């Protein structure tokens, strides 16, 4: 098992990465305070992993409750957040209750937001079961739900008390979800570490084959990169925005198609192709470098051609991005492979990128 720390002073917390961690009572014990524990999961993940987790927590003499939500991005909304609050209140949860998010990024974001707001804040543990959640969404404390007019528009920063990433759970992940997670792995290489990007290219086949050793390193290095960025800029005043490489275009794709049509990671994959194209048009990276990133994204089974909404609609959707300030859309572009920056970009260049990506 590898253990990292997200350094945030009194709110610092460990990320445990290893196989079979759901069965290790001692890992959970160190982070549970009250008597009651609420596992929040969904109809796909609960049948696979809720029972073993319940057994582990019962060994610790905890009262364990399970809240099962429907599965999908479509349900990351107010009414299903309310389902969590209903269950907590009906069963008499109190301020010492711990929530455990057992699932992918949707469950992690919703459980985190429920924990941030229930009784003005209770603690929660992330037990991410998708690659995307293990390499990205479970770390850093961004929690929330979608609004019909924009993704993740309602939420809070609320850090977990621990992240317990059990690599064994990835063995049941559908191939499409594995690819979606690999998009965020590629993102970490592209925005922060060119050596890691080389490693991903060399290990693409092993990653796609779900080989444990390769996945373990991809999760570890991604969490190291993300933990360092979050420790430096928890509230996204500056460099944390670079973790959004590919997301300005990606969120527009997700919202434009309707949530759930493309997976978040798929939209980010295509968004990174577009952001790399834009970086090339700004003269920051070479055409061969943009092509190299596009090839890697394609190799990982991710889309590289943008849905055709037309440039006007793309600009409208991108206006809703949380990085937009004073009506000006800001983009994360690559200064070079392995180094991202946030910039305002001339609209004409963005139009060229939209055209080159199939968006218009």
Q: Applying CB under 6 A, which of residues 18, 27, 68, 73 lies at the interface with ligand NAD?
A: 73
Name 331's bridge partners. 343
40 binds, among ligand GLY, ligand NAD, none (CB under 5 to 8 A by kind): none
240 binds, among ligand GLY, ligand NAD, none (CB under 5 to 8 A by kind): ligand GLY
The least distance separating ligand GLY from the CB of residue 214, rounded to whole angstroms, comes to 22
Q: Applying CB under 6 A, which of residues 50, 88, 93, 107 lies at the interface with ligand NAD?
A: 107
Coarse DSSP helix, strand, coil percentages of the chain, rounded to the nearest 5 percent: 55, 20, 30
114 and 93 in contact (C-beta within 8 Å)?
A: no
192 binds, among ligand NAD, ligand GLY, none (CB under 5 to 8 A by kind): none
Considering the complex, state which of residue 224 and residue 352 has its C-beta at the smaller distance from ligand GLY: 224
* Cα gap 166→147, rounded to integer Å: 31
Q: Where in 76-105 is the site for ligand NAD (CB under 6 A)?
A: 76, 103-105
Give the angle 224-37-18 at the CA atoms, nearest 5°: 30
Residue 344 phi, psi dihedral angles, 5° rounding: -90, 145
Cα of first residue to Cα of last residue in the chain, in angstroms, is 47
45 binds ligand NAD (CB under 6 A): yes
* Cα gap 143→72, rounded to integer Å: 16
83 binds, among ligand NAD, ligand GLY, none (CB under 5 to 8 A by kind): none
Q: DSSP letter at 70?
A: P
What distance separates the 2 farthest-apart alpha carbons in the chain? 62
67 binds ligand NAD (CB under 6 A): no
The catalytic site residues sit at 120, 142, 184, 226, 236, 240, 244, 247, 251, 264
| Site residues for ligand GLY per CB under 6 A | 136, 140, 142, 240, 243-244
The least distance separating ligand GLY from the CB of residue 148, rounded to whole angstroms, comes to 21
| Rg of the Cα atoms in the chain | 20
Q: And the tokens for 25?
A: 């009572």
126 binds ligand NAD (CB under 6 A): no
Cβ-based neighbours of 134, under 8 Å, separated by 6 or more: 17, 128, 165, 167, 170, 181, 219, 222, 223
Considering the complex, state which of residue 103 and residue 303 has its C-beta at the smaller distance from ligand NAD: 103
45 binds, among ligand NAD, ligand GLY, none (CB under 5 to 8 A by kind): ligand NAD
Q: And the tokens for 256?
A: 């434009």
103 and 42 in contact (C-beta within 8 Å)?
A: yes
Q: Which residues bind ligand NAD (CB under 6 A)?
A: 42, 44-45, 48, 71, 73, 76, 103-107, 109, 129-130, 132-133, 136-137, 140, 142, 152, 169, 172-173, 177, 180, 263-265
């Amino acid at each position: 098992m590898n253990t990292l720390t997200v350094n945030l002073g009194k709110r610092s917390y460990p990320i445990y990465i290893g196989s079979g961690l759901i069965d290790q009572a001692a890992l959970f014990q160190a982070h549970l305070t009250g008597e009651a524990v609420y596992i929040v999961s969904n109809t796909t993940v609960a049948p696979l992993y809720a029972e073993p987790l319940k057994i582990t927590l019962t060994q610790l003499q905890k009262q364990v409750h399970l809240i099962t939500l429907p599965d999908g991005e479509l349900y990351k909304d107010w009414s299903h957040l309310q389902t969590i609050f209903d269950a907590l209140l009906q069963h008499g949860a109190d301020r010492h209750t711990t929530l455990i998010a057992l699932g992918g990024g949707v469950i992690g974001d919703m459980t985190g937001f429920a924990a941030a707001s229930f009784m003005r804040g209770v603690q929660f543990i992330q037990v991410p079961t998708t690659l995307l959640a293990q390499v990205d969404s479970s770390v850093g404390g961004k929690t929330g739900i979608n609004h019909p007019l924009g993704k993740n528009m309602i939420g809070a920063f609320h850090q977990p008390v621990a992240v317990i990433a059990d690599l064994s759970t990835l063995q049941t992940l559908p191939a499409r979800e594995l690819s979606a997670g690999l998009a965020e792995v590629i993102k970490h290489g592209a925005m922060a570490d060119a050596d890691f990007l080389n490693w991903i290219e060399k290990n693409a086949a092993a990653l796609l084959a779900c080989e444990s050793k390769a996945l373990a390193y991809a999760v570890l290095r991604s969490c190291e990169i993300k933990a360092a960025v979050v420790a430096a800029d928890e509230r996204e005043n500056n460099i944390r925005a670079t973790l959004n490489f590919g997301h300005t275009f990606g969120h527009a794709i997700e919202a434009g198609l309707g949530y759930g049509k493309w997976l978040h990671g798929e939209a980010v994959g295509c968004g990174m192709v577009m952001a790399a194209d834009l970086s090339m048009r700004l003269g920051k990276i070479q055409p061969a470098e943009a092509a190299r990133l596009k090839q890697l994204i394609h190799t990982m089974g991710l889309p590289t051609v943008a849905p055709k909404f037309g440039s006007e609609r793309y600009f409208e959707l991108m206006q809703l991005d949380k990085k937009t300030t004073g009506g000006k859309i800001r983009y994360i572009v690559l200064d070079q492979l392995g180094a991202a920056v946030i910039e305002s970009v001339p609209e004409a260049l963005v139009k060229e990128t939209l055209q080159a990506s199939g968006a218009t």
